[in-house]
Structure 1
C-alpha cells in the first residue's frame, strides 16, 4: 500500500473508534464527555501540526494557504481549551463565551486558505469567481434559512449577541463552503486530491456547527453529542490532506486548462435546490402563490437560455483551445502541448517510478526538398510523415511537431515497448513518399532517450535534450536510423548536416534530392554492383590482377559510373556501407573464380577513415577465410587524395593487414599532397600512378622525368608500380621504358562485368589481343569510368 493509503486507513480507524465511543457512551456520560472534549482537542492540535508541516515543505501561495489553515485550527483548539475549562467549572458552559472567539478564528483562517490555493487566474477569472461565489452563497443561505436559521431566528429571544452569534456560525460556514466548492471545481489536476479533502473537511465542520447552533438554540446540546463526530472527522480529513500535499508536485502546469463542465454548471445547482426548498415552504402563504410560480418559470427560462449559451461557449472554447495546442499543418500536438504532457509524465515518473521515453526525429535533407520542389511539396511531405508517425505509435503516446521538420514522440511504459515503437518509426520511412507524382525516399534521423526507474531525478528538459543529442548522433553518423542516448554522445551542429548544391536551378536540385533518396535505397538493399578492370603485366601481357569498381544499375538512368554518385556517397557518409558492398561482392566473385582455377588477386578500395578501425584486419581475414581465399589474393587500396587523420593508428592497422599477408596499395598516387609522406611512413606494397599523373608523359619531358623518378624510387623501396588510365600505345611504351611493371586502362580493357571478367580469365586473353577486349560483354556507361570506389 502507498503512504496515502496507509494515512487514509489510519484516519478511518481513529474516526471509527471515536464515533463508536460516543455512540455507545462507553463509561457513561462523564467518560464520553471527556473523550469528546479531549479527543477533539487532540485531533485539532494534530491537524494544526500537520498543516504547519505542510507549510514548511510548500512554497509561495501554497505555503501561505497552509499557514492560514494552521492558524485557524490553532484558534479552534484554543476555543476548545476554554470550552473544557467552562465545562469543568460550570455544569453547562455559557453561550456565548470567550471560547467562541477561538472557534470563529477557524472559518477566517480556513476561508483565507481556500482563497490562496488557486493560482494564475486572470482578472476576468477572478470576477467570475466572485460572481459565482455570490450566487452559491445566496442559494445556500436560502436553503439554510429554511431548515436552520429561521427556527433559530424565531427562537432568538431578547439576547441580540446570542442571536447574532448563532447566525454567524452557519453564515461563516456557508461562506467557506462556497469558496471551497469554487476552488475545487477550478483546481488543477495536481492539487485536486488535496483540495477535495479540504472541501470535505469544511463540509463536515459546517454540518457539526449547524447542529451545534440548532441544539444550543433548543437548549439540549452537551459535550459528547453525536454532532461532535463531524468535527473529529473534519480534523482527521484536514490532517490527511496536509500530509498528502507534501508528496504532491509543486510545479504549476504551464498551460491553463479549460473550465470544466462542473465549473460551468456548479453555481446553478444550489439555485435549483434552493428553489425546490423555498417554493413548497412559502407557496401556501396567502398572496405569494402566483408570484412564486411566475418567478419560478422566469428563473427556469433564464437558466435554460443560459445553459444553451454556456454550452455553445464551451464548445467554442474547446475548439479554440484544441487549435492552440495543435500544429496547424499536420494536426499533431505542438511544442506547448508536448512540453505540458512531458512535464506531467516526468512528475508521474518521479512519484511512481514509471518509465518515460522521448523520441526526437527529423527528416534528412528536408531543406533540399523545400529548395528544389517548393514549400507546398515540403508541406505535403510533412503531412505524410505525420500520418506515418501516427500509424506507428500507441493511443497513449503523444506525437508532436516541434519545429520545421522536427517531430517528437512521448511514450510511457516499459522501455522495451518504447524501443519497439521507435524501431517501427524508422521502418515506416522505408517506403518512398509520393509528392506531386514523384517518388521521394526520405530517411529520418531518430534519437531515443529513456528515463527508467534507475534515474528518477531526470527532469523533463534534460530528457528532451538527451533525445535531441541522440538524434544528432544519428544524423552525424550519416546513416540515420535509431540511436539511443548514451552519456558519451556529443551534441552536433545542425548546420553540419545540410547538403549544399552548386546548381541554382530548382529542377537540378529536385533531381539531386530524388537521386539521393534512390541512392540510399540502393545502398540499403544491396542494389549496387561491381565491375572489374583487369591489370596487365607490361612485360608478358598477362592479366595479373583486377580492380573492383562500383557501379549503380539505375532502374531509369541505366548503368551509372562512380562520377555520377560517388560525390553524394562521400558527402552523405555512405562510403563505409558502399565499401562493405564492394568488398563482399568482390570476394564472392574471387572465390567463384578460384573455385574453377582461374583466380587472380583482386584489389578493393577501402574508405580511408576505416583504416583507423583496429578490428579491420580481423574482419577482413575472417571474410577471406569464410571463402577459402588466401590473404595474397586481396589488395587493399587507399585513395591518396583523402588525407588520413591519424597516421599512427593507420600505420598500426596496415601493419596488421600486411602481417596477415594482405597487400597494401596507394591508389591515385600523385593526385594529392601526401604521397611521399605515405611512402616514407606506411607499409606499402604497391603504388598506383594516377591517370592524370601519367597522361602528359608523351609530350611533356618534365612530366616524363617525374614519372620515371617515381618509378625508380618505388623500385628502390621495393614497391610495385601500377599505371592507371593507359589509353594509347605510346603511353604504354613509355611506361615500359621507365620500368613500370603493371598497367590498366581503356587501351587494354574497360571495366567489365563479373561474368565477362571470368570469360577473359578463362580464355587467357592479353593486351596482344589488341583492343578487341573493349567489346567484351561490357555494358555501356553514361560516362567513362575514370573514377573508382573508395
Structure 2
C-alpha cells in the first residue's frame, strides 16, 4: 500500500516544488500541493492494516481535508483573475453549497443511512458526494466564466479534479451496494494527482482578467435554485427527508438574497450609467453619450451633420472673473444651445468651453442656419457675477457621408472647420478639405519628414546678406531645403508650414542650427569671417533648455556667440510672451545676436522693440519688393529704418529684387540687404566664390546665372 501511494506523494511533491520555485499563483499551487499530499496520506492510512476497519475512520478526516484545500486554491486562483470578488459571488457559492447538499441528501440519504446505520457515520458518508458535487460545479463555473477557452493548464486541472470525483463516485457506489470496488476506481484515484502535477509542470501564462458580468455567472445559481425548488415541490407529493427539505429551503433563501442583491446592483448600475453619460456641470450629454448616439445614428441610412461650438475669448473671462464665473457662463450657454437646437438634435459638452451638436437629417444649409441661430442667441448678454457679458462663438460643421463615414472622422473634421471659422472670424464654417492642415496627406508628409531627419535628407542653402555701405557679404541666412528621394529638392514652403504645429519642429530647428554652425566653422577655418543667421521656431523659443543647447552647439563647433544671429518673428511672441522673454534674455546674455524678423506684419511691434533684447530689425519683404514703384511702401521702409537706427538696432531689408530698391535702401540708411538682386539661396559649396568675388571687386556680389 505504501508503494501504491508513492506516485501520489511524488505528485504532491512536484506541485509543492512548483509553488516554492515560481512566484505566480504561489498560494494557490501550495494549497493544491497540500490537497494532493493529504489525499496520499489518507489513502495510505486507509489502506494500512486496521486503518479502515471502522467507518468513519480517522483517515476519512484526512481524505475530506482534500476538498477544503482545493476550494482554497480555487479562491486564490480567482483573486488574480477576477476583476472583483463581490457579495454576489459569495452568495453564488452559498447557493452552490446548499444546493449540492440538498441534492445529495435527497438522492443518497436513505442509501447512506442503510449502509452506515445512520447518525454521524451517515453524515460523513454524505460529505464525500456533497463535496464532489460542489467540485463539479466549481469546474463548470470556471469553464463558463472563461468562455470555454481553456488553456492546457486549466484543462489538466479540470480533468484531474473530475477524475477525483469519478473515483469517489465509484468508491461510494460500491460501498453503498456492499460490492467490491471495480478496477477503474483506483486507476482514476491515481490519475487525478498525476494530472494535477502535470498541470503544475506546464509553463505559466499571464492571467486573463475576467469580470463577473453576463449571463454565464447566472447559470449555476439558476440551475441549483430550480433543483431546490423542484425538491420542495416533490416533497408535496412524496415526502422527502427533513434534511433535504431544509437544505432546499436554505438554497431558495440564498437565491432570494442573490435576486435582491442583483436588483440593487442593477439600480445602481442604471444610475451610474446615467451619471456616466451626463456632463456634471451643465446637465447636458457628455462626450461618451455623444459618441454613443453618433455611432448609433451612423448605422442608419440618412445623412447628418456634426457641429463643434467653441466660445471666443473664454479664457479672458476665466482669467478676469475666475473659474466659477466661467462655469456659470457655461451652464447658461448650455441652456441656450439646448433651446436653439431643440428636439432636432443632441447638444453635448465635450469639455472646457467646447460643445458638440448632432443634427440628424441635416445638410450644410441647415447646419449653417443652426450656426446663425447660435450666433443670434449669444447676442443677448449673459449675467455673470452681476455683470453683463457678451460672448461670441465659432461653429464648424462636417457632413455624413460627404466629409466622413466614422464618428472620429466627423468630429475631427468638424473641429477643423470650427478652427477655420475662428481664424477667419466668420462665426460658421463648413468643412473644406482644401484648407485642412490635418489631412491624411499631411500626416504622411510629417512621417516622411521624420524619416528625412533620421536619414539626413535636410540640406541648407545660404542667402548672402550684403553690407550696403561696403558692398561686401557680411553674413548669410541659413534656409532649409528637403532633398526628397522621389520629388527632388523641395523648398521650405512644401513642408515647414505642416511641421510648425507638431513636435517635429523643435528637433528640426536644432538640426538646422547644428548644420549651420558646422558649416560656419568650416568657412571660418577657410578664412571667411561671416555671421550666420538661423530662424528659431516657437517650440524652441518657449523651451527653457534652448539657451543651454545653443551654448553647447557653439562650444562644440568652436564658433564665437557673436557670429550667430537667431531670428524670431513677432507672431511667435503671442504664444507665451513671458516665457519667450525669459529665453531671449538668456540668449542675449549668452552673447548671440537676436533679430526681429518680418517686422511690420505682426502685432504690437513697438512694444516688442521696446521690451525685447533684440539688436537687429528685419523689414519684411512685402514692403521692400515694390518700394521702388510704390511710394507708400517706400515711406514705410524709410520710417522703419529710421526707427531702428534711433533705437540703436542694425536694420536689414529682405526681398531686394532690383538695383533701384537697393539704391533706395542704401540712401535711407539700411545696414544690410538680402534678396534675389544679390543672390538666391545657394548650396554651401557655391558661397565662398560669391563672397571672394565681392571682396576682390569691392562692387557687391555678382548675380548667379
TM-score computed with the length of structure 2 as normaliser: 0.52
Correspondences of 1:616-695 after superposition (within 5 Å): 616-695=546-625
Q: Determine the structure 1 residue equivalent to 2:31.
A: 7
1:715 Cα deviation after fit: 2.0
What is the rounded CA distance, in whole Å, between the counterparts of 1:504 and 1:561 in structure 2?
20
1:212 to 165, 172, 175: 175
Q: 1:250 to 1:208 in 2, by over 3 A?
A: farther
What is the rounded CA distance, in whole Å, between the counterparts of 1:672 and 1:185 in structure 2?
64
1:738 Cα deviation after fit: 2.3
What is the rounded CA distance, in whole Å, between the counterparts of 1:250 and 1:512 in structure 2?
40
Q: 1:566 to 1:559 in 2, by over 3 A?
A: same
- Name which one, 1 or 2, has greater alpha-carbon Rg: 1
Q: Determine the structure 2 residue equivalent to 1:562.
A: 492
Q: 1:642 to 1:185 in 2, by over 3 A?
A: closer
1:721 Cα deviation after fit: 0.7
What is the rounded CA distance, in whole Å, between the counterparts of 2:547 and 2:414 in structure 1?
31
1:636 Cα deviation after fit: 0.7
Q: 1:749 to 1:700 in 2, by over 3 A?
A: same
Q: Determine the structure 1 residue equivalent to 2:307.
A: none
Point out the more displaced range, 656-665 or 37-46. Answer: 37-46
1:518 Cα deviation after fit: 5.1
**In the alignment, structure 1 residue 33 sits paired with structure 2 residue 53:** yes
2:520 to 590, 599, 611: 590
Asked if the contact 1:547/1:604 (under 8 Å) is kept, the reply is yes
Q: What SS is found at the alignment partner of 2:465?
A: strand
Q: 1:743 to 1:120 in 2, by over 3 A?
A: same
Asked if the contact 1:541/1:768 (under 8 Å) is kept, the reply is yes
2:95 to 53, 57, 64: 64
2:164 to 201, 213, 230: 201
Correspondences of 1:267-416 after superposition (within 5 Å): none
Q: What SS is found at the alignment partner of 1:772?
A: coil
1:251 to 206, 210, 215: 210
**In the alignment, structure 1 residue 610 sits paired with structure 2 residue 540:** yes
Q: 1:64 to 1:692 in 2, by over 3 A?
A: same
Give CA deviations for 1:53-107 in whole Å, capped at 9, x if unaligned.
Answer: 9799845655533444466789999999x98xxxxxxxxx977756797556865
Q: Determine the structure 1 residue equivalent to 2:229.
A: none
Asked if the contact 1:530/1:551 (under 8 Å) is kept, the reply is yes
What is the rounded CA distance, in whole Å, between the counterparts of 2:562 and 2:48 in structure 1?
103
Q: 1:495 to 1:120 in 2, by over 3 A?
A: farther
1:763 Cα deviation after fit: 3.2
Asked if the contact 2:472/2:701 (under 8 Å) is kept, the reply is no
Report how many residues are paired: 450
Asked if the contact 1:200/1:234 (under 8 Å) is kept, the reply is yes
1:543 to 460, 468, 473: 473
1:729 Cα deviation after fit: 2.6
CA RMSD of aligned residues (A): 5.2
* Gapped regions of structure 1 (runs ≥ 5): 84-92, 123-182, 241-246, 258-492, 776-790
Q: 1:580 to 1:210 in 2, by over 3 A?
A: same
Q: What SS is found at the alignment partner of 1:667?
A: strand
Q: Determine the structure 2 residue equivalent to 1:580.
A: 510
Q: 1:667 to 1:540 in 2, by over 3 A?
A: same
Asked if the contact 1:47/1:236 (under 8 Å) is kept, the reply is no
Q: What SS is found at the alignment partner of 1:676?
A: helix
Asked if the contact 1:68/1:113 (under 8 Å) is kept, the reply is no
TM-score computed with the length of structure 1 as normaliser: 0.47
1:684 Cα deviation after fit: 0.2
2:692 to 762, 776, 781: 762
Give CA deviations for 1:138-197 in whole Å, capped at 9, x if unaligned.
Answer: xxxxxxxxxxxxxxxxxxxxxxxxxxxxxxxxxxxxxxxxxxxxx999784586566435
1:709 Cα deviation after fit: 2.5
Q: 1:538 to 1:5 in 2, by over 3 A?
A: closer
Correspondences of 1:430-509 after superposition (within 5 Å): none
What is the rounded CA distance, in whole Å, between the counterparts of 1:9 and 1:121 in structure 2?
22
What is the rounded CA distance, in whole Å, between the counterparts of 2:666 and 2:191 in structure 1?
108
What is the rounded CA distance, in whole Å, between the counterparts of 1:108 and 1:589 in structure 2?
87
Asked if the contact 2:547/2:586 (under 8 Å) is kept, the reply is yes
Q: 1:232 to 1:762 in 2, by over 3 A?
A: closer
1:253 Cα deviation after fit: 9.7
1:655 Cα deviation after fit: 1.6
Correspondences of 1:57-206 after superposition (within 5 Å): 58-59=89-90, 61=92, 64-69=95-100, 102=123, 103=125, 107=129, 110-111=132-133, 114=136, 118=140, 188-189=150-151, 192=155, 195-206=158-169
1:637 Cα deviation after fit: 0.8
Q: What SS is found at the alignment partner of 2:527?
A: coil
What is the rounded CA distance, in whole Å, between the counterparts of 2:695 and 2:555 in structure 1?
30
**In the alignment, structure 1 residue 731 sits paired with structure 2 residue 661:** yes
What is the rounded CA distance, in whole Å, between the counterparts of 1:496 and 1:672 in structure 2?
29
Give CA deviations for 1:387-430 in whole Å, capped at 9, x if unaligned.
Answer: xxxxxxxxxxxxxxxxxxxxxxxxxxxxxxxxxxxxxxxxxxxx
Give CA deviations for 1:737-783 in whole Å, capped at 9, x if unaligned.
Answer: 322221111222222222221122233448964773233xxxxxxxx
1:626 Cα deviation after fit: 1.8
Q: 1:105 to 1:708 in 2, by over 3 A?
A: same
Q: Determine the structure 2 residue equivalent to 1:170.
A: none
Q: 1:580 to 1:495 in 2, by over 3 A?
A: farther
Asked if the contact 1:64/1:113 (under 8 Å) is kept, the reply is no
What is the rounded CA distance, in whole Å, between the counterparts of 1:688 and 1:52 in structure 2?
80
Q: What SS is found at the alignment partner of 1:774?
A: coil
Asked if the contact 1:184/1:192 (under 8 Å) is kept, the reply is no
2:682 to 749, 752, 762: 752
What is the rounded CA distance, in whole Å, between the counterparts of 1:8 and 1:706 in structure 2?
90
Give CA deviations for 1:445-468 in whole Å, capped at 9, x if unaligned.
Answer: xxxxxxxxxxxxxxxxxxxxxxxx
Asked if the contact 1:45/1:74 (under 8 Å) is kept, the reply is no
Q: 1:769 to 1:564 in 2, by over 3 A?
A: farther
Point out the more displaced range, 515-524 or 744-753. Answer: 515-524
Q: 1:17 to 1:768 in 2, by over 3 A?
A: closer
**In the alignment, structure 1 residue 552 sits paired with structure 2 residue 482:** yes
Q: 1:504 to 1:685 in 2, by over 3 A?
A: closer
Give CA deviations for 1:224-265 in whole Å, capped at 9, x if unaligned.
Answer: xx999999999999x99xxxxxx99883699999xxxxxxxx
